[in-house]
């Protein structure tokens, strides 16, 4: 009987206790397997079709490309439509500049409180 971790084979056929990188590769392989099951092309296509029918005003052919081209605006519009309110901070980048020094430290706190209250 071989000692534990001294060259015994696992269920995947890899040798435990082999090269130092083997354990990391096995861990990443497990994660990759989970992602392949969760994010299959078929599942993404079904999501795209459902969103086209129920959410998007105009049909989208490639969901990821459309999200990139709209700089995520498509996602914020989708959340607003489904939830009824825009997500907190959705318009945070609209100002495009630094906060006014006149606003003081309380302005940031008030803004955060308003965003939290929006979902209460």
Averaged pLDDT, 83-99? 63
Assessment of whether the complete model's pTM goes beyond 0.75: no
- Collapsing DSSP states into helix, strand and coil, what is residue 82? helix
Q: What are phi and psi of 51, to 5 degrees?
A: -65, -40
Q: pLDDT tens for residues 15-71?
A: 444 455 555 566 677 766 766 666 778 888 898 999 999 888 889 998 888 889 989
DSSP string across 26-43: HHHHHHHHHHHHHT-HHH
The helix (H) or strand (E) run that includes residue 104 is helix 104-117
DSSP, collapsed to helix, strand or coil, labels residue 88 as coil
């Amino acid at each position: 009987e071989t000692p534990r971790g001294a060259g015994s084979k696992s269920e995947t056929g890899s040798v435990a206790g082999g090269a130092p990188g083997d354990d990391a590769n096995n861990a990443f392989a497990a994660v990759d397997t989970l992602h392949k099951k969760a994010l299959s092309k078929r599942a993404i296509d079904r999501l795209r079709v459902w969103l086209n029918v129920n959410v998007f005003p105009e049909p989208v052919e490639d969901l990821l490309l459309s999200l990139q081209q709209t700089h995520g605006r498509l996602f914020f519009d989708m959340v607003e439509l489904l939830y009824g309110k825009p997500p907190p901070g959705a318009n945070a980048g609209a100002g495009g500049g630094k906060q006014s020094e006149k606003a003081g430290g309380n302005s940031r706190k008030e803004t955060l409180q308003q965003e939290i209250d929006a979902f209460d």
